[in-house]
Amino acid sequence: MTRPGVALERLDAYDPAKTLEALRRVLAPLGGMERFVKPGAKVALKPNLLFGRAAGKALNTHPEIVRAAGRLALEAGAGELLIGDSPGFGTARGAARLCGILPVAEELGAAVVEFTPVEHMDRGRSFPRLELARELLEADVVINLPKMKTHGQMLMTLAVKNMFGAVPGTRKFQWHYRAGRDKLVFARALNEIAMAVRPALSILDAVLAMDGMGPSSGRPRWTNFIAAGDDPWALDAAIMDVLGLERSLLFTLLAASGHGPSEWREVEIFGESPEALRPDDWDIPELVTAQMHGGFVEKRLPRLADWLRARISPPPRANGRCVRCGHCVAICPAGAMRLDPDPVIDREKCIRCYCCHELCQYGGMDMRRGGALARILGFGG
């Protein structure tokens, strides 16, 4: 079996010509764009469009990465190009306009599409029935364009997590509710969604990334590289190497162990070495750090862990930036929030999905550390 390949390449600014050349270089060891895009192919680009924000905020895949990927796909002979995602709120077109992707789409002749749900059945899976974006399932080639960011619930959002955007609109919140407080169940769902969409190629934007309390309220960080791979799990494994973190700390890789969707342990790395690109002080969410390093109960006694987490792991809390818009109350998958007049969370009902933190456009929700007991048991202390 051939090993999945991941290529790493430095890029220190979103200069259009330099970005295009960096993409050519990063794709060369994988066979170039021509390996993935055949003449006449219908190509779907799937950036991370969390919600509309200026590119400098690092919430979304940068427009220059989208432009360069689109240009190379057209050079390879793509017959049709579309750009789509399912943002946390608002439309894909609205988010694309605010982050600068819309003019790039117009220049490329690509439509920015809103995803429509279609049923995808695979009886061999843990989640046999998925509702996914018709536009991705019907494309000849899906090119995944994730942004490197920390993620309060999943540790990082990289290539596999970016495929969650293939779930249209509010159906994403249903997945959170279905998984409940068990992160590994949610990670398994993410893996199966990525397996169903099967992006042929993933190109990660890690030029301006986000650490700390990502994926929306963290710190934009210049990490100055891009990465590409034909297997999203392998790409994520390589990025954990770059960050100097154990691969199994990433929930989607942990959930893939034993019945893995890919051979990500055997990844072959081209270009720069992971160590050469390692950022100095990559800051992962404290909540996740504590969970990962003290999760004995979580691993051995998951039901007890769930019961304990509801009692001792602190739910998020509104801060002074909250403008009481009510969006978090409307999207909370567990119906655990109300406005009174600030958002109030029922800690018993809260499933610790952190959607309220992720999707507040004002940075109005804080994630919190728990007390000593939470830290000892490893539940977000």
Q: What is the DSSP letter of 40?
A: T
Q: Which is nearer to ligand SF4, 253 or 287 (CB)?
A: 287
Q: Of 256, 277, 312, 318, which lies in the binding site for ligand SF4, with binding defined by CB under 6 A?
A: 318
Answer for which of 282, 309, 352, 379 binds ligand SF4 (CB under 6 A) is 352
Count of other CB atoms within 10 angstroms of residue 279 = 18
Q: Closer to ligand SF4 at the Cβ: 152 or 165?
A: 152
Closest CA to 56 of 228, 173, 219: 219
Q: Is 44 helix (H, G, I), strand (E, B) or coil?
A: strand
Pair 125, 192: CB distance under 8 Å: yes
The count of chain residues that interact with ligand SF4, using the rule CB under 6 A, is 28
Kindly state the DSSP code that residue 170 receives in the 8-state scheme: T
Tell me how far, at minimum, the Cβ of 229 lies from ligand SF4, in Å.
Answer: 31
Tell me whether residue 54 or residue 323 sits nearer to ligand SF4 (CB atom): 323
Contact criterion met (CB below 8 Å) for 232 and 176: no
Q: Is 214 in the site for ligand SF4 (CB under 6 A)?
A: no
Given candidates 62, 172, 247, 327, which one binds ligand SF4 under the rule CB under 6 A?
327
Q: Closer CB to ligand SF4, residue 30 or residue 318?
A: 318
Q: CA–CA separation, 25 vs 14, rounded Å?
A: 15
Q: What is the rounded CA–CA span in Å between residue 4 and residue 13?
A: 28
Is there binding between residue 52 and ligand SF4 (CB under 6 A)?
A: no
Tell me, residue by residue from 267 to 306, as one string, x for binding to ligand SF4 by CB under 6 A and - for no binding.
----------------------------------------
* Residue 293 or 338 having the CB closest to ligand SF4: 338
Asked if residue 314 binds ligand SF4 (CB under 6 A), the reply is no
At 55, which amino acid appears?
Answer: A
Name the minimum Å distance from CB 147 to ligand SF4: 21
Query: With b meaning 16 or more CB within 10 Å and e meaning fewer, what string describes 215-237?
Result: bbbbebbebebbbbbbbbbbbbb
Instruction: By CB under 6 A, name the one of 351, 377, 380, 381 that touches ligand SF4.
Output: 351
**Polymer length in residues for the chain:** 381
The gap between the terminal CA atoms of the chain, to the nearest Å, is 42
Query: How far apart, in whole angstroms, are the C-alpha atoms of residue 225 and residue 214?
Result: 19
Q: Which of 316, 378, 380, 381 touches ligand SF4 (CB under 6 A)?
A: 316
> Residues in the site for ligand SF4, rule: CB under 6 A?
315-316, 318, 322-328, 332-334, 336-337, 343, 345, 350-356, 360, 362, 364-365
